Every structure is written in structure tokens, then in C-alpha cells.
Structure 1
Amino acid sequence: MQAVKEENQEISEVKNGSVVTPKGFRAAGAHAGLRYSKNDIGVIFSDIPANSAAVYTTNRFQAAPITVTKDSLEKEQKLQAIFVNSACANACTGKRGLADAYQTRSWVAEKFNIPEHFIAVSSTGVIGEYLQMDKIQKGISLLDPKATSESSEEFAKAILTTDLVTKRSCFKTVIDGKEVVVGGVAKGSGMIEPNMATMLAFVTTDANISSEHLHTALKEVTNHTFNQITVDGDTSTNDTVVVMANGLANNAPLSPSHPEWKKFIALLQSVCANLAKKIARDGEGATKLIEVQVLGATNDEEARAIAKTIVGSNLVKTAVFGADANWGRVICAVGYSNAKIDPEKIDIAVGPYPIMIHSEVVPYSEKEVTDYLKSELTKFTVNLNIGEGHGMAWGCDLTYDYVKINASYRT
């Protein structure tokens, strides 16, 4: 991870960038009638077939769209279009649901005159309900993808469920003297306990990279970003991260042996980390983003595990919501994380305020810490002081509104 940090100095954010900022990508969103009035279907389209890779929810009840997307990628590991619908997850819908997902793929292929196996299909919404196929078919005919900020925003709106805001990200760098851009869009608000969960993320890049090496990069980056967020500890049935790379930047093919491979990893990670934090901040009913950094662990994996344990603690989350400087909940979460620690060596800070050094409480201002906890971002830093491992995790506070939203999700 140190190499990734160093490469970040050569990476810059593209303001107002999106999935259509990389060369050769377009997007669209439309209202098919699956929801009352909002956009509910969308497509991301590459002008040429793109080398692609994906990772999926670990829930053993994987929804029909995941089966179809896996089938598409097994053919040539290329995609040219990603079709998404909201309002209905098409999960736990048996043979009919699977047939509907394949039919959707077929209609998209007809619309854009491309092979069916160049299409990924994704759905989000209520589990156990069937797609309204007449509306899906009519909606597909309305899709007219364009390479504009407005069209990418229409797509971003189409994939939302209980989200309050759309989530876009875009960064660029120079590789082999060529500008390489990565853009991303995501949705996710509740049931965000990836490996992954009710979270969809779609990433585009004009980088020249094979599907094999793209998958390697995606797995590495996912472990440090999307797999490090949690809202409520639940894991859903649908969710997917898909990356498409069409090669139009014309850099030399990227691989782990390429001299600027780490720069590409850092570029991809910048986009995914940015999206992950936006998902965590938009947790159902959330008012604050929580960021936990763990240093000095025996290795990065243990550091990430501890960070995620802390950010997933309901007691930590409620303390942040109430701006209660109850740091004992943080040390408690460290203790039950099952990672290796030395109970005599732990440092803890809340934002800029040291609370504990080498497991001894140090003087601090209760008022200053409480005032800090009232801000929209709460950072906890834990140093175990036993190794070089470090990791981060993101989540949100737990509020009264979370219960209200989920008590009436279908009504």
C-alpha cells in the first residue's frame, strides 16, 4: 500500500467527471414505469467491446442478473453495455426470474445491435418480486446513450433505491505519455456489508489492459475500498462491481510487470475509495461519515479487519450519532476483533485529539472532542504499535431514521 500512496501524487481528480469521461463511453437513464415517476432503467455503453472484469456479492442466494452477467463474461471477458434496473431486484424469483434476466439481455442486444454476451445485466430493489417485462421492453427502446454529464447523471439517478444522492467519481493520470482516465458511478445506502451487498458500482476506463490483469487489479482494489465499508452488517443478493476497459487511451498494455502498474492501481483505487466513502456517507438515515484508520498492525489484513470491526460497531455508530465522546466503545471493538494486539501498546485518537497513548488515558477536553463529533466527518485513528500493517474502513452513524426507513421499505 505504500507504493500506492506514493503514486497518488501523480493522480488528479476530474471535477464533474463520470463514467462517460473516459474516451469512448456513453450513458443514459430513463423512466420505464417500474417506479412512479423517477428514472428506473439505465445503460452504460462503450463504443467498442471493452475488456471487463467483475466481482459479486458473497451471499449464496445470488440474484438472476448476476448469473446472466457471469454467463456473458465467461464467453470472451468483454462487455459493451451494462443494463441496470431499479425498483425490483429480480432475486429469489426462480426459473422465471432467470428467464426474464436473459430476455432483458436479448432486448438490449437488439436495441444496440451487439452480441448478447457483450451485455451485463444488473438489478436492485425489492427481493422476491418479478420484473414487469412489458415496461422493461418499452423502457429499453427509450435509451439513447450520450457522452454528456447530463446523461451520466440520468443513469446515476436510475440506479438509486433508498439513496438520497447520486454517487460519481473520476480521476486521471498519465501512463506511457498517454492520459488515462477512470470514471465510476455507484448506488448503495443500506445492506452495505460487502463482500459485497446492496451496492452496485460500475467503473469505466480507457486504459489498455487485458481482462485478466483488470480482474487482478479489481480484486486488489476492492479489498481496500468496497469491502471496507459497512452500514448495517447485512449482505444482499445482487450486488456487483463491474469494470470496463476499452483501451482507447492507447497506452502500452498494462500488467503487473509494467513499470507504471502501481500508478494504475492507485488510479483505480482513487475512484473506488471515493465511491465507497460516498456510499457510506449516504447510509440510510445517516447524518455522518465515520472513517477509521488502523496503524501498526501485524499486517494490512489484520488492520483492515480491526478498522471494519470498529466502524461496524452499533455502539460506536450510536455514540457518533449522539456526539458522545465514549471512546471506550472503540477500544472494546479493537478487543473483540480477533486480530493480534498487545493490550499495553494501543494509541487512540478521535480526530486530532489523542485519547490514549500506550493504553494509558491522556488528558483531553471533553468539550473539544464532543464538538468535533458534531461535524459531518468523524475520524478514529488506532495505532497498535506492533507491526507495519495499516488499513482503513468507512461507515456511518446509526440514527432513528434508519429504523423508520427499513420498517416501511416496501410500503
Structure 2
Amino acid sequence: MLVTLVAVSEVVLRSRLENQLRQRLVDRAVVADALVDRLSGRDLSRRLSGDGVSVALTTASGKTYAEGPPPPGSRPTASPPAARPSPVAGVAATTQDVTRRGSELVIRHTLTDGSALVLSVDTRDTAATLRQVRLVLWLAAALVLLVAAVAVPLVVSRAIAPLRTFTDVARSIGHGDRDRRLRPRQPGTELGRTAVAFDAMLDDVVGAERRALDSEDRLRAFLSDVAHELRTPLTGIQASGELLLREDPPRTEREATLLALLRESGRATRLVEDMLLMARIDEGLQLEPRPVALRPLAEQVVQDALARHPAARLEVSGDDVEVRGDPDRLTQVLGNLVDNALHAGAGTVSVTVRADAPDDVVVDVDDDGSGVPAEDRERIFERLVRLDDARSRHAGGAGLGLPIARGIVRAHGGELVCQDAPVGGARFRVTLSHLLPNLEP
């Protein structure tokens, strides 16, 4: 770029200076045409000379006058060269009439009185000026290159310093420092916005990694708990089978053993079915939605619970509202919640159905039991988690009822949470959306 700049500057300057010299000769020829009738030959020659212009004037009577610096060769004469036709008198001179002779620019012009005028100017001064300009340009180019060689590495090093920070942070994170971040001081710049986006990406990646590790830990714990839960019924089944094979117990004892075997196999079957249902919930539970009247559904759940627990006090109240959902799955949810309250030792369980917001329906299952501590209200929805007062595997189940109930509710686009009940126990609140208009019976 610097070489091109020097070359173009020299060409442009040379053309400019030479055009100025040509125009100077033409202007002197025009002045001569205007003054030829007013001044004598000597005075006209003196008037035209100056600024490096040499004049040779031959009058019509044959007198010759010369003014100005002598040309580098012989002094030009007024007689034109044989190869060039004489100019026509009275025709204005133009730059096309200027010719080059060695280092000179020469114009030959015939004045209106027939005098022959030769004007010349030496271009050696122009060439010297061009050499000086060329030298200055090359020195300036060399200085620019030197400054660039020193300054550019410093500027670039300072400019890419944030990139080195990027590299250091990336390496630190790769070596295990997952909390390392860029945190740019100037987030409004291009690199600052890039750093902010990089930090956000790191937060997402680290969060995903932690969730994956937590999920892996939960999976290991889940498999361990499942194995532990299955071991008890399988051990009972094996013991009952071995007893029947080794001995020939009396009929009464044999029937009791077979009953225990069936009971343990049923527990194992329910546990496997619950785990399969949890797997389907994780993959996306397939529902068969249709309009469902919640209060009649709750009354049926309560009737079924009373058949299993005749001494329990169960009641249903609230509005006749409908939602769009899978009636079998919603029955399973309410059944799990009512059974959970009864297994927790509640004396009274009430189910309340009401319209909450324009598009929401709320079902509250309240009991007067011991309640659920605040720190355990989310933990009870984890798989295979049972509180200490419900650790009996016979009465407390495998700890999958509440996770299954929440999974089914969320598959319906709703939510299941645990709260304090007004009567002092626990309240499990089911919130469902897509409220349908009440249907007349």
C-alpha cells in the first residue's frame, strides 16, 4: 500500500507540474499576441521572460531578441524545424502546441505581425522537485513501517487480551473450576457482549451438567431403593416356596403360607407396575381426555375408600365443575391422595372441589393428621421417599404414590402441592386448568 501510494503520488505530481509549465508557455504566447502591436521586440521579449521561461523572438524585419535563462543546449532560434510546419499567424496557442526537446518544453508561435516566437522552459527543476518529494515519501513510508512494526504488536496484544482471558477461563473450567466466569467490565462493547453470552452459555452448560449428575445420582439411588423394595417381597416369596417344598405342612399352615406368598407377589407386582407407570410419565404419559365431572368422581373415590376403611370419616363438598382430562388417571390421583391421608393416621379426610380462577379448578384433600414438615413438602414427591412416621412397608407403600400423582397432574397441565390444612394436618392441592362450562343434568 505504501509503495502504491508513493508511485501514484509521483505520477500525479509530475503530471501536475508539467501541465502547469505547459500552461505557462501557452499563457505567455497569448500575452504576446495581445502585446505585439504595443511593445517593441526587445520590450516584448523582456515582458514574456521570467519564471524560468526563455524567449527567442524574430521580428518580421529579421531582428532577433533573446531573454531568459539559456537553454541546456543551443539557444532556440525563431525558425521552426523543417519537420514541423510553421504555425499560422493569428491562431491562438494551445497546450497541444507544446513539444518536448530533451529536458525542455518548447512552444513555437507566429504572432499576428508575422514575428516568430519561441518560448521554452527547463524541466530539470521540476525533476529535482520530484526527486525530493520521492525521497520524502519513501522516508515517510519507512517511518510509518517502523512505527507500525512497534505499535501494531502492542495494540493487537492489548486488543486480544480479552481473548487470552477467554482461553484461561475455558482451561480453568476444563480443569474442574466450574464456577469461573469472565464477568466483563465493559459489557456494552463487542467483546463485552461476547463475554456476557459466553458466561450465559457456561451457566447453562454447568447447570445442565449438574442436573445430569443429580439425575445420575437419583437414578443410582432409585435403582438401589427399588432393589431394596423388591428384595423384601421376593425374599418372602422364596421363603414361602422353600417351606412348601421342604415340608408338607398341615392344610391350615399351607393355606397361610400360600396366602403370604400371594400377598408378597402382589406387592412385588404393584411395585413393578408403579415403576412402569413412572417410566411412562417420564416419557410422556398418554391420556384419553374427555369432559370429567370432578365432584361425582371424588364421591366415587370416597365410596371406594370407605369400602376398604369402614371406620374412616370421609366427606366431599364443593362445586359441580368439569374439566377436560382422563377420568381413570384423575381417579388414580384422588385415590392416592385419600389413601395417603388414611395411611398417615388421619381421623377425618375431606375432599373439596371448587372453581378458583376463570380457567382453573382446585381440588383440596385435607386431613387432621400430624401434617408434613415444611422442609419435607417437596421431598415427599421424590421417588421412594417415605417420612419416618410412615416407614412401614406394609402400611406406607413403596413411596411412589405421590410422585405418580404429581406426574399425572402435570401431564394434565396442572400442579400438585402440599400445604398446611386448616384443621392442622396436611392439605394436598390439585390445580387443573381448562375449566369447562357446567353441564345441566
**TM-score of the superposed pair, with normalisation by structure 2:** 0.19
Identify the structure with bigger relative contact order (alpha carbons < 8 Å, sequence gap 6+).
1
The structure richer in helix per residue is 2
The structure richer in strand per residue is 1
**TM-score of the superposed pair, with normalisation by structure 1:** 0.20
- Structure number with greater Rg is 2
